[in-house]
Amino acid sequence: MRYSIVIILFYIFNFAQSSAQSVKEIDSDALKALTYTMNDTTYVVNFWATWCSPCVKEIGYFEELHRQRESEKVKVILVSLDFPKQIDRRVIPFLKEKEITADVLLMTDLDYNSWIDRIDPSWSGAIPATLIYNKETRVFLEQELTRDELFNHVTQIKQ
Amino acid sequence: MSYSIMLHKSSNDMKKTILTSVLALMAFMLVNAGLKPGDNAVEFSLKNVDGTSVSLSDYADQKGMILVFTCNPCPFSKAYEQRIISLHLSYADQGFPVVAINPNDVEISPDDTMDKMKARAEEQDYPFPYLKDESQEVYKAYGASKTPHIFLLQNKGGKFKVAYIGAIDDNAMDAAEVTNKYVEKAIAALISGSNPDPATTKAIGCTIKTKS
């Protein structure tokens, strides 16, 4: 009896662990690699932060895209530009509240000038900004997106 | 927006390619709207938090100007607020005073009304003008895209020219961790008679809030 309770507790703990949103820290080299991965997948890389109100407004559309189209080789990656010191206090509680299950990465390289051009030379650095690409096409959008705009861009690029 | 095609598999892609090229051209034109280093600065006359009107030409006797597009609520503007005040305190005497312009639409960003700007300027004791770009024409003419966004101007024989565009330094989060003070280096270059290098930098910032 006692043994089975331990097993149940173990499973509950494990489940809680796997469903909790985790945020992986990345540097500029890892980010560059992530924005130039050439395979059959279409990547949707959204640059956002918890303090950016238009980003917060559109983040639900990215989560919806992730849930709907992951099986169709659409990979959504949310790159947070919150300051690294705010990961536990702001970023993770925000992701839990919004029930985000898409991959979330946190950019640790704060020397923005050293890497913004490497993602896209047209990017001024304002967020929200979204890169949608596959091995054939690439679109960089320095703007807030509506749900239709996001889904249409992905559909167009996958054609 | 920037589109680019990386590989074309068949002629079926032709239509897409043409569309994409047109979009890329439009994006190119959009990106190039606004000023770049070497261009003449654009004259402005905007309302200050003290009720007066401030113009670029009011500064004709100065060596230049640190023009900062910034706002009240943006965390990057807040992170840089004390550094912007310090820039003015260090460089106004050397002929490079700060002038701050708030470009945000107040309907979309209610924290950026003239009343809220006045409150912020008083609370933080701004030693420089804090102007409202109410028509949003000035930020567009300069090509500012975010807050904070710096345009360092140099007075060349009575004509202001753009000398540097970009960030204040290379660490928004922590002033103590800064390794490259772009604006200070650019001013030092101008004072010594050379051109700033780099003349442009990029940084993350908040979008300028505008009704599209």
Please give the pLDDT value at position A38.
94
Which pLDDT does position A3 carry in this prediction?
Answer: 58
> In Å, how far is B120's CA from the nearest CA of chain A?
19
pLDDT in tens, A24-74: 999 999 999 999 999 999 999 999 999 999 999 999 999 999 999 999 999
A100-146 pLDDT, tens per residue?
999 999 999 999 999 999 999 999 999 999 999 999 999 999 999 99
| Dist CA B74 CA B206 (whole Å) | 6
In chain B, which residues have their Cβ closer than 8 Å to the Cβ of A120? 2
Is B6 in Cβ contact with A126 (below 8 Å)? no
CA dist B191 → B8, B95, B96 (Å): 51, 9, 10
pLDDT score, position B4: 61
In this prediction, residue A159 carries a pLDDT of 83
Residue A22 confidence (pLDDT): 87
How far, in Å, CA of B41 to CA of B86, rounded?
A: 24
Are A98 and A64 in contact by the 8 Å Cβ rule? The answer is no
Chain A partners of B6 at a C-beta cutoff of 8 Å?
Answer: 135-138
Over the stretch B7-24, which tens digit does the pLDDT of each residue have? 444 455 555 555 555 555
Distance CA B66, CA B153 (A): 6
Residue of A52, A108, A111, A118 to mutate, interface with B, max B Cβ within 10 Å: A111
CA distance B106 to B113: 5
CB contact under 8 A, A139 and B3: yes
Instruction: Report the distance separating Cα B82 and Cα A140, nearest Å.
Output: 33
Amino acid at B171: N
DSSP A81-105: -S-GGGIIIIIHHHHHHTT--SEEE
Nearest-CA distance A125 → chain B (Å): 4
What was the pLDDT predicted at A19? 46
Domains of chain A, CATH where assigned: 21-158 (3.40.30.10)
Instruction: State residue A21's pLDDT score.
Output: 74
The Cα B111–Cα A145 span in angstroms is: 23
pLDDT of residue B10: 47
B180: closest CA of chain A, how far (Å): 9
pLDDT attached to residue A157: 94
Tell if the CB–CB gap between B146 and A125 is shorter than 8 Å. yes
Look at A112 and B146 and tell me if their CB atoms are within 8 Å: no
- Amino acid, single-letter form, for residue A4: S
Residues of A in contact with B16 (CB under 8 A): 137, 159
d(CA B191, CA B39): 19
Beta partners for residue A48, in sequence order: A80
The partner residues of B55 in beta bridges, in order of sequence, read B45
| Residue B84 CB burial class (10 angstroms; 0-12, 13-18, ≥19) | buried
Query: Residue B64 in contact with residue B190, Cβ under 8 Å?
Result: yes
- What is the model's pLDDT at position B31? 47
Nearest-angstrom CA–CA distance, B127 and B84 = 10
Residues of A in contact with B172 (CB under 8 A): 83, 110, 112
Residue A4: the pLDDT is 60
Residue-wise pLDDT for B36-79, tens only, equals: 999 999 999 999 999 999 999 999 999 999 999 999 999 999 99
Nearest chain B Cα distance for residue A40, angstroms = 14
Q: How confident is the model at residue B5 (pLDDT cuts 50, 70, 90)?
A: low
pLDDT tens per residue across span B171-190: 999 999 999 999 999 999 99
Residues of A in contact with B2 (CB under 8 A): 120-122, 139-140
Nearest Cα neighbor of B134 from B156, B162, B106 is B106
Distance, CA of B70 to CA of B103 (rounded, Å): 7
CB contact at 8 A, B103 and B138: yes
Test A124 with B7 for CB contact under 8 angstroms: no
Contact across the interface for A85 and B207, Cβ inside 8 Å:
no
Query: How many interface pairs between A and B have CB atoms less than 8 angstroms apart?
Result: 99
Q: Is the predicted pLDDT of residue A13 greater than 60, yes or no? A: no
- The pTM for the full model equals 0.84
Residue of A nearest to B6 (CA): A136
Closest CA to A81 of A120, A130, A43, A42: A130
Q: What is the pLDDT of residue B33?
A: 74
Bridge pairing between strands B64-69 and B98-102: parallel
Mean of pLDDT over chain B: 90
pLDDT for A39: 95
A-side interface with B, Cβ within 8 Å?
Answer: 49, 51-52, 54, 81, 83-85, 110-114, 116-117, 120-128, 135-144, 159
A16 pLDDT more than 60: no
pLDDT digits (tens, 9 = 90+) for B71-126: 999 999 999 999 999 999 999 999 999 999 999 999 999 999 999 999 999 999 99
Which burial class, exposed, middle or buried, applies to B161 when counting CB atoms under 10 A from its CB (0-12, 13-18, 19+)? middle
